[in-house]
């Protein structure tokens, strides 16, 4: 498969993945653009990987994790734009926005672990391979991230109940 054959179906999937990982559309587009330049240059290597889509997701994660070092003057806002129009009820959309906002507050590696696990559907071993760390480190990041989300969401919920 050539890069041009992959792009029509693969690019939207990669952008959606990056949007969830990055916490917004603008940064996701920038990260994916940088990854696509590299992927196009080395398409033979990407195409010959066991799982080209996983290889590209790993490239996106690596680019996302290095983004702050690369562009330290750029501080992304936790702005969330849906990748596609959403036909949800208002409450479901508000819950989604709140969760993505809370994800944006997490340290980058913790956020990457949760996105790879729950959005990307990867196992701890696959995540460890993607991030270049041990599975125990993946589990530690996931545990800390989920604990932080529980605390934040619990605090938000208790504040909401007192406001009514």
Question: What is the extent of the structural domain holding 65?
Answer: 1-80
Pair 75, 112 in one domain: no
* Last residue within a domain, chosen from 80, 111, 140: 80
Contacts for 162 with CB less than 8 Å, ≥ 6 apart: none
Q: How confident is the model at residue 66 (pLDDT cuts 50, 70, 90)?
A: confident
Asked whether the predicted pLDDT for residue 71 surpasses 60, the reply is no
Pair 4, 61 in one domain: yes
Number of domains making up the chain: 2
Pair 50, 17 in one domain: yes
Assess contact for 78 and 70: CB atoms under 8 A. no
Pair 38, 107 in one domain: no
Token reading at 56: 């590209």
Report the range of poorest mean pLDDT among 9-13, 93-97, 105-109. 93-97
Pair 32, 74 in one domain: yes
Pair 52, 119 in one domain: no
Judged on CB neighbours under 10 Å (0-12, 13-18, 19+), 84 is exposed
């Amino acid at each position: 498969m050539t890069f041009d054959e992959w792009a029509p179906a693969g690019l939207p999937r990669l952008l959606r993945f990056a949007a969830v990982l990055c916490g917004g559309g603008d940064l996701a587009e920038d990260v994916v653009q940088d990854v696509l330049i590299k992927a196009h240059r080395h398409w033979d290597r990407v195409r010959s990987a066991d799982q080209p889509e996983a290889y590209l997701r790993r490239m996106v994660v690596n680019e996302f994790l290095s983004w702050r070092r690369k562009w330290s003057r750029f501080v992304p806002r936790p702005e969330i734009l849906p990748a596609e129009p959403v036909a949800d009820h208002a409450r479901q959309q508000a819950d989604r926005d709140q969760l993505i906002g809370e994800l944006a507050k997490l340290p980058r590696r913790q956020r990457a672990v949760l996105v790879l696990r729950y959005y990307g559907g990867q196992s701890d071993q696959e995540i460890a391979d993607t991030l270049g760390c041990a599975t125990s480190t993946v589990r530690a990041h996931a545990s800390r991230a989920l604990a932080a989300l529980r605390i934040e969401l619990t605090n938000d919920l208790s504040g909401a109940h007192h406001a009514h």
